[in-house]
Every structure is written in C-alpha cells, then in structure tokens.
Structure 1
Amino acid sequence: MTSPQILIATLVAAYLYVVTPGPAFLALFTLAASRGRKSGAWFICGHLIGDVVWGALAVAALVGANRLGPTLFEALGFACGLYLVYLGVRALMTRKDALPRTIGAERPLATGMAFGLTNPKSYPVALAMFSAIVAPYIGALKAADAPQMFVAAFLGFLLADATLIFTAGLPAVRKFFLTHGVAVTRVVGVIFIVFGARSIVDAAQGAMRKTA
C-alpha cells in the first residue's frame, strides 16, 4: 500500500502542473476570453491526453530514478530545476506587445490534443514539477507504487482542469486576461523560477548529505 503522503504529494504535483501558468494556460484563457467557457472546456479536455502522457512518464522517471539510486534523481532534479529557471527568466522578459493570440478557435478539442502531446516543454516541466513536490518521499518510492501514483496524478489533472474551466469562463477573468495578458505571463516566470530553485536546492542538499 502506497503511503498516503506520497499519493497526496503526487496529486498536488499534478494539480500544480496543470494550473501553473504556461503555454497551454495562456492558450486556454485567451480562447475562453474570446470564445467563451465551452470552447475553453473542449480545449482543456483535449489537452488532458497530453497531461496524462507526460505526467505518467514523469512518475515513471521518479520511480525508476529511485530504483537506480539517488544520484540519478539528484541530477535529474538539478537539470530540470535549471530548465524551469530558464523558462521563468524568458517569461519575465516578455515584451509588452507580445500579447497571446487566440489559437484553436475553430477546433478546440483537436487543438488541445495536439497542443498537449506535441509541446516539447511538457515532459521536462512535468518532471521538474513532480520532482519538486515528491522529492521528500523519493527514498520511499517502489515500483509497486507507480499504478497508485498514476491514479493520484490523474485525479489531480481532473481537479485542475475543472478549476481552469470554471475560472476561465468568469466574465471578470475574461476581461482581465484580455487586458493584462503580459502581466500574467510574467507571473508565470516568477512561479517557474520558484519551483526551479526548489528543485535545485533539494538536489544540492541531497548531494551534500552524501559527502558529509
């Protein structure tokens, strides 16, 4: 039986992976702002397929890294942390005229599927997010925990999607997002930098404990 703490951490990581602003977040809110909640819901339902694929690979990587030893996990956490910081810095440098555009307005479901499965940033971001949240429990992970962690992650994805669909359709949110899209993008940068720094610190502390 997988520890409840591990399952809760996995659910939280999946939830934060989806609701943390990024390319799909910006696309969803722009689409919902211009076309309404229904179009946004179709987009996010299609994107769920990609979330499940990348989330499952991230969980598998964490379990596999634990079986192969903590050094590999620490290296993964450090590399992914640097990548998140890089994405965060780029988001903070977004130009004022770089407003997000409406994509997938005509076929939101198909666009969401394609967006979720083909975004090259999805896997490293998912791995970094899961690494940052699940790191305190990495030593307890076993291969047998993977199926229950997949289920917990899927529940986290569903809760996050419901949150986004509800929020994106609110009139005040639609108006705010169309007016302040660049500010939202820069907030994304801060969040990514925070999670990246957390992943780097955890990896560094693990390495220092082994050399002490």
Structure 2
Amino acid sequence: MTFSLLLAVIASGFIYGITPGPGVLAVLGIGAARGRRAGAGFLCGHLLGDVLWCSTALVAIVGARQIGNSVFDILGVLSGLYLFWLGMRALRSRPGNGEVEQGPVRKPFWHGVVFGLTNPKAYPVAVATFTALLSSRAETLDWSMLPALIALSFVGGLLAYAILVGVVGARHVRTLYTRYELWITRACGVMFIGFAVNALAHALPGLLPRNS
C-alpha cells in the first residue's frame, strides 16, 4: 500500500465522520445539553454504524474494481453525480432546514448506535466519498487490502470524532454552529462538488471510446 493511498483512505474516513449532517448536529445538541461525556458516548455508539457503512462501501468499491475497470468507472460516475447533487442541494439550503435534536437523550451510547445504523444516507454518502477520493488510485485496490482499508478508514473516523468530542459540551459551540449552520452547510456543498469533479474526471475517460 502506497503512502498516498494510506492518506487517501484516512482522509476519506475523516471527512465522512466530520462532515456536518444529522449526526454532527445531534452530538452538538447532546453535548450542549448533557456535557462532553454524553456527547462522547453518543459518538462511540455512532461509530458502530460508521464502521458498518464504511466497510460495506469499501467492499463495493474493491468489488467493482476487481470485476473490471468499466464497472469501477460507472460507480465513479454515479458517485460523482450523487456528490454533485448533494453539493448543489447544500448550496441551495435555506435557513431552518436543519434537523434539530429533540431534547436530551437518556442513553447517549445506545442512541448513537441506533442513529448510526439507521441513517438512510450513510451508505450512499460513504460510497460516494470513498470512491471520489480513491478513484485516482483504483488500480492498486484488491481484496487483500480490504482489512487495512477498513482499519485506516476507522482511524480517520476516530480522528474526526476526537475533534468533535473536543468541541462538544459547551453551549456556545451549539449556538455558534446553529448561527452559522447555513454557511457551514454551503461550504460543505462546495467541498462535495469538488469531490464530484474529481470522481468524474477520473471515471469518465475510462468510459469514453478510445481512438485506435
């Protein structure tokens, strides 16, 4: 495994874990209401869902690569289009569209487990994010690397959650996030569009007819 691939997988797990969404907003709300320990408990539970969805996404990506370059390129195009759609939707966000955690949670860990495992957006976002960042290194992917890929994505997720744990627990953090949520969402939209362009740039040439 090359160093650039190692960094790409860690970055994928990190970005997947820290990108603002329902889970991030939920942990900020729990942390503001019940403190850093409760927020950390939620994230520990949520990490189970992250491992499941990221592992499933990596299986799909490696499987597509092993079946053939065209299959991986098609996956790359679909992922790029999905990320572009997510990015455009984020850029068009309006105030008040965010999901707000409803009241304190008595059992943060188990709430995190359920939250992470039942998020319907988790798998497609994981596939799209990992495909976008790994597409330039697709030729190096094979089944023997899968355990290491999963472990590295887990490390990236842990780094993201370490940062989140560091900032939760203070009400002013929740207030600041809520105040600038729209701009944070739009900034993430720009990031997703950038990932989409990267995925499409690497996938489309492989699907275009070659002149002999």
1:117 maps to amino acid: L
Deviation, structure 1 residue 8: 2.3
Change (3 A) 1:124 1:197: same
Matched, 1:17 2:16: yes
- 1:85 corresponds in structure 2 to 84
What are the Cα deviations for residues 93-132 of structure 1, in whole angstroms up to 9, with x where unaligned?
Answer: 3322335412472232222111211111111111111111
Matched, 1:60 2:59: yes
What are the Cα deviations for residues 130-182 of structure 1, in whole angstroms up to 9, with x where unaligned?
Answer: 11111121111121111111111111111111111113345653331132233
Number of residue equivalences:
210
Distance in 1 of aligned mates of 2:76 and 2:43? 28
Change (3 A) 1:152 1:95: same
Matched, 1:180 2:176: no
1:119-138 paired onto structure 2 within 5 Å: 119-138=119-138
- 1:6 corresponds in structure 2 to 5
- 2:159 corresponds in structure 1 to 159
Question: Does the Cα contact within 8 Å between 2:65 and 2:141 map onto a contact in 1?
Answer: yes
Distance in 2 of aligned mates of 1:177 and 1:205? 40
SS at the partner of 2:97? coil
Deviates more, 1:39-48 or 1:194-203: 194-203
Contiguous gaps of at least 5 residues in structure 2:
none
Contiguous gaps of at least 5 residues in structure 1:
none
Distance in 1 of aligned mates of 2:63 and 2:50? 20
- 1:205 corresponds in structure 2 to 205
Question: Does the Cα contact within 8 Å between 1:34 and 1:102 map onto a contact in 2?
Answer: no
Aligned-residue CA RMSD (Å): 2.1
1:97-116 paired onto structure 2 within 5 Å: 97-103=96-102, 105-106=104-105, 107-116=107-116
1:40 maps to amino acid: G
Distance in 1 of aligned mates of 2:98 and 2:65? 42
Question: Does the Cα contact within 8 Å between 1:33 and 1:175 map onto a contact in 2?
Answer: no
Deviates more, 1:196-205 or 1:66-75: 196-205
